[in-house]
Amino acid sequence: MKSLTIPVRAGAPRRTYRITIAQDLTADLAAHLESLRKGSRAILVSSPKVWELHGPRLAAGLPETPCVLIPDGERAKRLRTVNLLFDRLVSLNTDRQTTLVVAGGGVLGDLAGFAAASYLRGIPLVHVPTTVVAQVDSAIGGKVGVNHPLGKNLIGAFYPPAAVLTDPQFLTTLSAREFRAGLYEVIKYGVIDSPSLFERLESTLPAILSRDPRALLPIIAACSRIKARVVSADEHETGERRILNFGHTAGHALEAITEYRRFRHGEAVGHGMLAATAIATTRGLLSKSHSKRIVTLIEQTGTLPALNDLSAAACVDATKRDKKVVRGTLHFVLPSAIGRTKIVPDVTPRELTKALRDLGMRA
């Protein structure tokens, strides 16, 4: 696959932006920006780690473009970091004809995207995602924001980018842990929407884990297509888009109670998917055979961080502050088969506690 373009409908009035997936796309960043016609100036935003690994490539792709480096990681995903970025944008005389090009993972994309949505009430935004999670999920769909000490992503906006430019070569420098963490989000897409993607993961997991482009590119494309279709139909998460939260209810709670220190986002989602699968199986909503396949694929992808020192009660309490709570009711995404889900409003604290205890958490 030399190059693939996937349209995404977004915004009011409706408009379309595009996901472009291509090997070594970074070398042509300036040409891609020129084709967008969003202004004559760009500012690149990245993190020290990404810049250390890919700075020369990014600088060559966007020559004579100022670069702002800001802290990365879930603990930096807060308003204080956004203010640091605002300070730099002001000092660089950023105006509404300046495009913010964000090269980084999901945290950086969310944070800098929120800055783009807020600065001057909105400046053009282009995502250049550098992790698996960002390439298959967070860079697509226009969700931007930061964490609050009491909950993940509680402060944010829907702000679609002008483009998403995906270069799989960035994935070659990810740590093994970071790469595997991103694959849990890929598994999510198979469970919620695509039996064929799930089967591909089952049959090619060793090649995917070895980062063989022939195995990796098709799954990036498949996830991008699913995300594009879902968010095009439901940009503001009032209906179908809620299925994308499979695994995220308990996952976000785990991140919150550990103060964003222990888990990669995908690892927390992995635990969350196991909890949701267990609840669905106990309810009789999901067959034991499909449950076993989901659990096996998650386990084969990698060893998740232990939970045995964490409180299930604290995790359940944290779900009450989840942004998916509506009028006091938490809407939980449960799998009903590989490729199908059901959104239910009646998962009880007792059910969730049992599922978390079965994963190894204490009372």
Is 148 known to be catalytic?
A: no
Is 241 known to be catalytic?
A: yes
248, 264, 271, 293: which one is catalytic? 248
Whole-number Å distance between alpha carbons of 279 and 247 = 12
77, 127, 143, 271: which one is catalytic? 143
- Specify which residues 337 forms β-bridges with: 340
**Dihedral angle of Cα 106, 191, 272, 231, to the nearest 10 degrees:** 40
Is 252 known to be catalytic?
A: yes
152, 225, 227, 271: which one is catalytic? 227
38, 180, 225, 241: which one is catalytic? 241
Supply the DSSP symbol for 103.
E
Whole-number Å distance between alpha carbons of 171 and 359 = 30
Is 265 known to be catalytic?
A: yes
Residues comprising the chain, all counted: 363
CA 286 to chain CA centroid, Å, is 25
Is 121 known to be catalytic?
A: yes
Is 248 known to be catalytic?
A: yes
Tokens of 69: 């480096």
Is 147 known to be catalytic?
A: no
Do 48 and 104 contact (CB within 8 A), yes or no? no
Is 235 known to be catalytic?
A: no
Task: Tell me the C-alpha to C-alpha distance, in Å, between residue 17 and each of 6, 44, 125, 290.
Answer: 9, 19, 11, 36
Q: Crossing angle for the helix pair 288-301 and 265-283, nearest 10 degrees?
A: 160
Whole-number Å distance between alpha carbons of 360 and 363 = 10
Is 32 known to be catalytic?
A: no
Q: Which residues of 189-219 are buried (b: 16+ CB within 10 A; e: fewer)?
A: bbbbbbeebbebbeebbeebbeeeeebbbbb
Is 185 known to be catalytic?
A: yes
Whole-number Å distance between alpha carbons of 221 and 227 = 10
Those residues whose C-beta lies under 8 Å from the C-beta of residue 86, and which sit 6 or more positions away, are 115, 118, 119
Q: Which sequence positions are flagged as catalytic?
A: 121, 143, 185, 227, 237, 241, 245, 248, 252, 265
